[in-house]
Chains A and B, each alone.
Chain A
Amino acid sequence: MAITAGLQVSPTREIEGSAILTVANLEVVYSRVIVAVQGVSLKVPEHSIVTVLGTNGAGKSTTVRAISGFLPVDDAEIRKGSIHFRGQSIGGLPPYQIARFGIVLVPERRKIFETLTVWDNLRIAHVRNDKPSNWNQQAERLFGVFPALAARREQLAGYLSGGERQMLAIAQGLLCDPKLLIVDELSLGLAPNLVHDLMERIQQLRHEFGISILLIEQDALSAIEIADYGYIMEGGRIVFEGSPEKLRNHKDVQEFYLGSGGDGRTSYREVKQYRRSRRWWG
């Protein structure tokens, strides 16, 4: 219905600047039967923050797993489409090779080593980052961005708070010297003001480390704050995309993802109805 009206989403559509990551027409199938992601195309331009929004089961995590090479772990495979990173096809490569290309994932769960100290958590990360001088310099810069971590250097990571864990996970990922940092559910289980604060630091890190960032989020409101471009996924497809202003101003996006609609129609039953009616789209 309205959410797609007047919008043409085509995989070949160009975003400003050269893309560091290009996903085209991706189709992922679990156990050879269940189609989890269908015809997903997205681009992450150099030095930009792109967000993929959507509810549980929308296919966000599957897309991330396809990009980072973790599909075989769950008996899933890419059936169609391609994933290119800086011009090279990386679809179907094993995770460690993808990590060496410079794609680093901060996973949704189990993102730090709880039995190691904060410092050990950091020094364990060194893919692509072999030069000690470079590594030390980056570690110091990260302590600058996350002073809370510097204060807890010698503490076991298992004792960190949720926000500090997220900081540590991001810092650990950055020490692998990525070109593209993928953060899966930054906001998960964190207080809203903390999420806001973390988002700001993500933006700061983008400039300081000169990287591109792909944010996979349920918390659309805070992700849109810092993103340059956003995609909305639903039922394994991308149903809407655009600049933050476009996302923010679109009435249906407001209603369903930002929770700030306003025609008084707030019944959850109607929401479901609405979704079912446009399932044909794709």
Chain B
Amino acid sequence: MGYAHVSLMLVILIQASFYVLLGMGYVLIYRATRVLNLAHGDLMVFGAFLFYQGLVITSGSVPLAITTGILGAALTGAIVYLGLMRPLAGYPVAVGVLATIALAIVLRSVTTAIWSGQTRYPAEYIGQLARPIELVSGLSISAIDAVIVLTALICILGLPLLLRRSAIGVEMRGVSENALLAAQRGINIHSVNALSWAAATVMAAIAGIFFSLKVRLGPDIWYVGLAGFAPALIGGMDSLRGVAIGALIVATAEVLAARFIAPQIALAAPFLVLLVALWIRPWGLFGSREELERI
């Protein structure tokens, strides 16, 4: 068993990848509307259920189901911004955060009403994805885990580049810094923000799809999505690269706690780390100090 420590690191890496996907969603929304989106977990569940519904309807076509989940999530995100967050622009940030709590509860009951509280296992539809891939002899990773790590890697490398270089990315950053000036310079700030919300909701849905394939699907898994704000906050809330570091820290703490202390503590680990981080460096690793008051 010479690979024990390596496989432990692999578990951490997979968990961190999952947190990267979730955390970046928080950051995208925070940058657009300066709001900590506490409905992210429920948006994640909703997206995953859309994916599941796609699987049921197409009787197991993964590409179609993923398309359903992603398009549905994008639409949901845009609607949430235009219908709920835009009218709240100009009010104190706390109002927006409270609105996301209300949204979370509404989404949760809608999800339960449509799909019932029963636990599903979408992985049944795609048995072959659970097959392990042998990296080297004695060390293997399941196909779904490989996809999770790969997706997170693409996001870590791709999203910052997109924000830095592309025209829409520059507009997003401009709107985030000074919405008034952006509006004056001809940018439709509401469509830019709606796009941010859509992108963040898609990322939540992707994380939800992964979780539902890997573990299970039910309206009760929202707390998994909520845990994603720990890496985002540790990273600094407005920093995408901060999320990657934050995710690694949180995942390490969580996996080690589960392995060496007690599995029950794993659930609390992200938040324990968050508390320590808030205590030492409340503006996050890569966040700007001025952002602090706005959270």
| A binding-site residues for B, Cβ under 8 Å | 68, 70, 73, 95-96, 99-100, 104-105, 107, 110-116, 120, 123-129, 172-173, 176
Contacts and interface: CB of A to CB of B under 8 A. Distances in A.
Contact of A113 (B167, B173, B183, B188): B173
B179 to A, nearest CB: 11
A125 B187 CA distance: 8
Q: In terms of DSSP, what is the predominant structure of the interface of chain A? A: loop
Contact of B186 (A70, A107, A176): A176
Contacts of B59: none
A104 B173 contact: no
B170 interface: yes
A113 B177 contact: yes
A172 B185 contact: yes
A175 B181 CA distance: 14
A112 B177 CA distance: 10
Contact of A99 (B170, B171, B177, B186): B186
A105 B167 contact: no
Contacts, number: 60
Contact of A176 (B167, B177, B185): B185
A116 B181 contact: no
B175 to A, nearest CB: 9
Interface in B165-205: 167, 170-171, 173-174, 177-178, 180-188
Interface of B: 167, 170-171, 173-174, 177-178, 180-188
The majority secondary structure among interface residues of chain B is: helix
Contacts of A126: 185-186
A126 B182 CA distance: 10
A116 B170 contact: yes
Question: What 5 pairs across the A-B complex have the smallest Cβ distances?
Answer: A127-B186, A125-B185, A120-B170, A124-B174, A113-B174
B180 A110 contact: yes
A114 B290 CA distance: 14
Given A110-B178, A113-B178, A116-B177, A95 B184 contact: yes
Contacts of A100: 186
B170 A123 contact: yes
B192 to A, nearest CB: 11
A115 B184 contact: no
A105 B180 CA distance: 11
A178 to B, nearest CB: 11
A110 B183 CA distance: 13
